[in-house]
Structure 1
């Protein structure tokens, strides 16, 4: 389960980075060259998503939960926005759901 969870986090970071770099270009006046690593990051995202060892619906459902937690961590540590207790609680509830879903994969394969 740890390997799968870490793979989800790597996948989420690749997706967020692939979207964040164009944001820096368009909204923050960054270089258009940011689109090159953004495209590479999105290609890594797709490649990582294909490595997950379960039926696609389960992957996408559980990945969505990890994405939410990762987005909150990005918001806090990259964007510098302080999260509310409700943000942390919601992320904990969602991540608990991810762990429940992932723990059932071995039984359903």
Structure 2
């Protein structure tokens, strides 16, 4: 259950961070206005709190593993919201990142 909770928190963090950055991009680069930017800032702030809910107590490990989720999540977001079509190298790179997440977060460890 801890792994499932951790994975769900990673997905929630990705939605908040990627969505927040996308909202700011839309507000500024696509001239959609300050409300889009404000919503993006709120979403990015929420991302910062979601990471603290991870069951592992090590900030560095959480953030390092989340980097892989961010890479794959960014491609998925772009596919859904920007009609981006990743090529095979994008997909291979994302898969490698997700393997890294699994190794960093869920490999069996012995207590020091």
TM-score, with length taken from structure 1 = 0.90
Secondary structure class of the residue paired with 1:90: helix
Q: Which residue of 2 aligns with 1:9?
A: 11
Query: For structure 1, which runs of at least 5 residues remain unmatched after alignment?
Result: none
Distance 1:108 1:102, change over 3 A: farther
TM-score, with length taken from structure 2 = 0.87
1:83 aligns with 2:79: no
Q: Which stretch has the larger CA shift, 64-73 or 13-22?
A: 13-22
Distance across 1 between alignment mates of 2:55 and 2:78: 29
Query: For structure 2, which runs of at least 5 residues remain unmatched after alignment?
Result: none
Runs of 4 or more consecutive aligned structure 1 residues displaced over 2 Å after TM superposition:
104-109
Matches within 5 A, 1:41-52: 41-52=43-54
**Cα offset for 1:107?**
4.3
CA contact (8 A) 2:9 2:50 kept: yes
Indicate the RMSD between aligned Cα atoms, in angstroms.
1.7
Distance across 1 between alignment mates of 2:111 and 2:83: 40
CA contact (8 A) 2:17 2:43 kept: yes
